[in-house]
């Protein structure tokens, strides 16, 4: 399948590292002009430069803004204008016993992981609908349907994103705009490496630590390894394309078969 995104402008929130940077790289590789975003100007510019090295000739626009706030979202839109592709990747996660999560922490996770996506969709979806083309993707997680005991607050936000996705897909019905969730499984990023070592200890070499983590904490994975970020980026590229025009309102899995169900 030849996917060509030339002439399309994409924003990937939280893309100064990890999964977000990988998604931005694959979109750029397919010809899209990509806005890379993070809170730190230095990290955002560094990520943009790394993408340009991976994809010579790519148009990559680094913009530092805190998209977990309305002010940050407004600031970003003033600089980039309208979009064809919106990827809501911004998110935080961490392990904490559920009985120790206080009100402020519940609110913080909802603000960053859910409301940031809602705000950007509300900001960009009307223009997409008017132009008759648009692609919105919310990066969810296997944790949306397999709530992890060690981070229930995180799982709650990803479940909420599935509902947000379905609702906005209905709002865009018949306009040529699609809205989907991408349900990522356990993925190999620096943050997840830290999380793995937090759970299994720092003394093991990485390969052994990863294997123990998958065995003890993610035993239902059918690929029995962490997913590489580019594998998620490939799914986003497809969903961003003309070829994916009949896929909307869905929760598309890139989970390594972790979710033990034939449906999300």
Catalytic residues: 154
Residue among 39, 85, 84 at smallest CA distance from 62: 39
Question: DSSP secondary-structure letter at 187?
Answer: B
C-alpha span between 158 and 113 (Å, rounded): 8
C-alpha span between 133 and 17 (Å, rounded): 28
C-alpha span between 9 and 183 (Å, rounded): 23
CA angle 146, 150, 154 (to 5 degrees): 65
Return all residues near 153 (Cβ < 8 A) that are at least 6 apart: 96, 98, 101, 105, 106, 109
C-alpha span between 252 and 264 (Å, rounded): 8
Helix crossing, 190-200 with 206-217: angle to 10°? Answer: 70
Sheet-wide strand order for 33-38: 60-64, 33-38, 9-12, 85-88, 134-141, 177-184, 251-254
C-alpha span between 253 and 226 (Å, rounded): 14
The SS3 assignment for 134 reads strand
End-to-end CA distance of the chain: 26
Token look-up 């600031």 returns: 75
C-alpha span between 230 and 187 (Å, rounded): 10
């Amino acid at each position: 399948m030849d996917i060509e995104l030339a002439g399309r402008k994409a924003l990937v929130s939280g893309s100064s590292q990890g999964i977000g940077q990988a998604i931005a790289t694959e979109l750029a590789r397919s010809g899209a002009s990509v806005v890379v975003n993070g809170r730190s100007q230095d990290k955002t510019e560094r990520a943009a430069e790394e993408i340009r090295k991976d994809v010579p000739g790519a148009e990559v626009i680094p913009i530092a803004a805190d998209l977990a706030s309305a002010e940050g979202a407004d600031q970003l839109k003033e600089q980039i204008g309208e979009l064809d592709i919106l990827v809501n990747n911004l998110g935080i996660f961490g392990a904490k016993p559920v009985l120790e999560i206080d009100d402020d922490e519940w609110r913080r996770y909802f603000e960053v992981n859910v409301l940031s996506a809602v705000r950007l969709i509300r900001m960009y979806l009307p223009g997409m609908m008017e132009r008759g083309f648009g692609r919105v993707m919310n990066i969810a997680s296997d944790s949306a349907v397999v709530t992890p005991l060690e981070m229930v607050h995180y799982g709650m936000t990803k479940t909420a994103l599935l509902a947000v996705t379905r609702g906005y897909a209905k709002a865009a019905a018949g306009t040529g705009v699609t809205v989907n969730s991408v349900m990522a499984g356990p993925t190999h990023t620096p943050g997840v490496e830290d999380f793995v070592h937090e759970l299994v200890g720092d003394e093991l070499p990485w390969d052994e630590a990863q294997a123990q983590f998958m065995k003890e904490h993610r035993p239902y994975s059918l690929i029995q390894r962490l997913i590489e970020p580019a594998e998620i980026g490939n799914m986003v590229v497809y969903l961003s394309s003309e070829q994916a025009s009949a896929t909307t309102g869905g929760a598309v899995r890139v989970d390594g078969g972790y979710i033990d169900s034939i449906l999300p």
